[in-house]
Amino acid sequence: MKKTQCPPPYVLSPPTAPTSVYSVTELQALKVNPDLESCPFQRTPVVSGAMGGYDEPDQHVKEEEKEEYEDVVLPASPPPPVPPVFKSTHTMQTRLQVSKTDTPTASTFPMVEVAGPDGPILMHRPWTAADVREAAEHLPDPRNSGMKFIEQFLNFCQEFRPTEVEIRRILAKRLGPGDLLKISQRIPRPELKIVHVDWAHAKNMEYRDALLELGDALRKAFPPKVDMSKIASCKQKPEEQVDDYVSRLTAIFNEHSGLEQPGASESHPCNSILTGMLPELHDIVIRTYVGCKEECRLNDLKRHARHAQLTQQQKKKAKQEKTEKELHMAALTMYSALATMQGQ
């Protein structure tokens, strides 16, 4: 068989790797993220730390700045900025509004005594309408007697320490607008109040003098009224003790007679007591108390009235015992008669 001559095999030499003109690091920076549409921007080298760094200056620049500004003292770094506080356009309405004015302010609140670190102190306590109504209930009606009202009102002010504003409210509650007008000019200024805890202290003199001046105005505007009908209608009850009756009538007399407390001459209350006394006691007192019609003393009248009442009680007790004894003897007599009749 004849051999055919074949062309020599075509052998390709292995391709040589192309030599790149660029360095590997530069090519590495050109890598494209498949998620991006283009190459990223080249970043400026920054000082390691938080974002917003700056270019690191050269070493020779640092040395020159150190030599030129070596004697300069730099100020301390300012504190970190504080975030702005939200400012509302709405003005809060507080209980006490403090305004910087040239006019001096005056407090008109009532003062009460409380425990403090160094002893009792005074602090304010606002009064409500219910407080004024409750405080004025136990005070007498000033229209009946301004003198008796101011006597109790002074004790009230010493205990509760109201300001002149509260005093005006109490007087308006007790008097009404018409009668309050009679003394409105004598009511002290509104800012007057007690200053010291001790009532008799010199700092409270102005407060006390103002109350005394108000008392004079009340005495003149409202003199005592006389109501003898209530005094005449006060009578001693059958089983009422003399002391209880005298105390009850004396209170009514002092309230409605329009006179001051009984002094050396006590004929008016004594006559009222004798008039309302029980008839049997009245007769005994008239017989035993010599001179009771001319110059009667309240203490002497009470002593004779107690003696007369004790005498009447003893007589009633003796009479009751005698009656019980007679009934007992009558019962025994009846039982004896019945026994005799049954024995026959």
What tens digit of pLDDT does each residue of 226-242 get? 777 888 888 888 888 88
Ranking 14-23, 129-138, 274-283, 299-308 by mean pLDDT, the lowest is 14-23
CA–CA dist 313, 62 (Å, integer): 126
Phi, psi values for residue 113, rounded to 5°: -90, 130
Torsion over CA of 248, 252, 257 and 259, rounded to 10 degrees? 70
- The pLDDT, as a whole number, for residue 264 is 44
37-58 average pLDDT score:
55
**pLDDT over 50 at 94, yes or no:** no
* More reliable by pLDDT, 304 or 42: 304
- Of the pLDDT bands very low, low, confident and very high (cuts 50, 70, 90), residue 191 is confident
144-172 average pLDDT score:
85
Residue ranges of the domains in the chain? 120-221, 228-332
For residue 186, which of 224, 162, 215 has the smallest C-alpha distance?
A: 215
Computed over every residue of the chain, the mean pLDDT equals: 72
Between the alpha carbon of residue 91 and those of residues 84, 88, 94, 98, 102, the distances in Å are 19, 8, 9, 13, 23
For residue 55, which of 64, 63, 65, 45 has the smallest C-alpha distance?
A: 45
* More reliable by pLDDT, 102 or 270: 270
161-167 average pLDDT score:
83
The pTM score is 0.41
Of 1.10.45, 1.10.10, 2.60.40, 1.10.1200, the CATH number of 228-332 is: 1.10.1200
- The pLDDT, as a whole number, for residue 31 is 58
Query: Are the C-beta atoms of residues 235 and 246 closer than 8 Å to each other?
Result: no
Tell the burial category of 303 from Cβ atoms under 10 Å away from its Cβ (0-12, 13-18, 19+).
middle
- Of the pLDDT bands very low, low, confident and very high (cuts 50, 70, 90), residue 98 is very low
- The pLDDT, as a whole number, for residue 299 is 80
* More reliable by pLDDT, 82 or 105: 82
The tens digit of pLDDT for each residue in 105-125 reads 545 455 666 666 677 776 666
For residue 308, which of 278, 275, 281, 277 has the smallest C-alpha distance?
A: 281
